[in-house]
Structure 1
Amino acid sequence: MSDRVYADYNATAPLRGETRSAMIGAMDVIGNPSSVHGAGREARALIETARRQVAGLTGAAPQSVVFTSGGTEASALALKGCGRTRVFTSAIEHEAVLAAVPEAVRLPVDAEGVLMLDALQAALSGGGEDCLVSVQWANNETGVLQPIEQIVEIAHANGALVHSDAVQIAGKLPIDMKAAGVDLMSVSAHKIGGPAGVGALIVREGLDIKAIQSGGGQEKGRRSGTENKIGIAGFGAAAEASLITLGDWQRVAVLRDRFEATVRQAGNGARIFSSGVARLPNTSCVSIRDARGETQVIAMDLARVAVSSGSACSSGKVRRSHVLDALDPGSPDAETAIRVSIGWETTEEDIDRLVAAWCDLYKRSSDNQQ
């Protein structure tokens, strides 16, 4: 049994063995992928293999995959390079989207965190030919899944494009970009067991995207800069492994539900966010009344259990969750929630330790309230 229970997969996932092997192999390939000699062609072959692997995970054509430095850059490229001047997002988007287009109109979600489709329809009713709708496929804090197909239907009927941040759903549930009709989609390697520092924007065939990083014209002119062949090789291997093991997330969902059953039994002082709608199989966002989220994270860490408060993507900053505020405006629960996100290496013993640590935390919190 490991000394620590790792329950923060939504922040970053453990490196897969397949990823490590692919990256080590790529380290021996010395060529620049843009060079036409043999060494360059060998490097190019690595990248094109990875492109096919990422495409296979996401239901896209290989030529649609544009490699980037991560999900953040991929979203920025979609939002700024699509040529649309008006952007609509949900109120619970990741900061990577919100910060890229601070002028975007934020559309409301319901109490479970699902985008209100009537609000989207109203926003586009004047015509959406100059509009982009950007909605996370799965939320990083609550795990809630958005009705992407319905969002696409409304957007396209009004002439708008659709971008989806699919960073969290990729590798956890089957996704098919073509079938869903999404125009632009962001994915990230380190959420699926690949290396940090590499991601991809998937661009619908026939849609032009303008580069926001100029230079040598790599990635068919859509993203300049010598490709990170080692990271990309690892990304591809992780994508292929994730596709093969998609069925294992059913086991993970059972473990997640075991933990949540404990939370439900705790009483009125505990809350599970978005539990009434479809969510990722690995994610629980729970709060304990009057116990600040960062305090809970520290207490769990002392018990050798790694969880997070908020999105864990803000350079260690602790602040009130805008996601939970959108679900329940003004509620103190936005400051008292933690996120538990488990994954393929999580065991029954890990859940036992997670439950024991959380129950101890809940008991101490309840005792302090008396």
Structure 2
Amino acid sequence: MADNLEQIANDLNTASLNLQELRGKYEGALDILNAKNAQIIEALDSKKEEALQEVKSVKDTATTEITNLQDTALSKIDESKNTSITELTNKKTEALTKIEEAKTEQGEKIAKLETDLNLKAKLLTQNLTWTVGSGGESNTHFNTLEKAITEALKFTKQNNLVIFIQLTEDLTLTQGLTFSYCDCRNIIIDGQNHTIQKEMTSSTDVMFYALYSAFLPRFTNVTFKNTGLNTNGICFQVYHNSNLNLHGCVYEIDNFLVGVNVAASSSVCIGSTVSKIKNCKTGLQCFALGKLDARSITLENNETGISLIESGLVDAWNIAFTSNTSDCNVAFNTLTQQGICFR
């Protein structure tokens, strides 16, 4: 019995020791578990913080991009708005400019019409004086003689009023002037002692050509000159029932093949004590029922002063023949097949 109790005491003691050993192992294991748990919690907290930082970074980036996109969109809207406003402003300005230009143009047209009306009204009451020469053109000044004559022909001839066209300098013609079916009797061209010149390039080149019942202007205080050879060119050619009147005018015709050529029932009156036709192959030529009154002019240094060809009529009374190779190709005051030249 005593042995059994001792055995039980030993067993209990052994069990207590085993229990203490087990408790120590438990507590060690528990410490290990607590340490691991602390490490896991620390790692989780670290990951959580990293995740929060990443989320914040993504959020900040997204916020920045959204802000930039918003700013860009607003900028584009403002730019588009400003462009539209600028375009509208430019279109408005352009439209206003065109309106002003149209107003100015219409104003100029109205002013020109008023000037033209005033000139035409003035022509009914008094003579007009225009000029021809270099410089800007206006209603009363022209760069070419042709333009001045063309403008003068627009005016109605009434009350014997005339348009005086004055030369302000020597004029060089690039081409001859042709007058057909027109009446220039109310036009007087005052050369003011200047020269109208042209280089005549052929025998048929004409400086002033009248045909088909035309009336040429009157010319005075002017020299007509061929700057080429006198084997070329005609100064005045008057054909087909046309007319030239230089009676009493002051002029010189110099260095032409023919100074004045009249034919085909036309009439020319160039009589003047102060005018001269010189240095021509033929000074005056008349044929085909042409009538030429050349009283009192001077024919000087021409190869032939007067030439009649087939039924011409010339009045040469008191002409001053000076140094011509031949004064006339027919006998004076004698009816011939070529016509007759009275002297």
Q: TM-score range by the shorter chain?
A: under 0.3
More strand by share: 2
TM-score normalised by the chain length of structure 1: 0.21
Which of structures 1 and 2 has the larger relative contact order (alpha carbons within 8 angstroms, sep 6+)?
1
Max Rg structure: 2
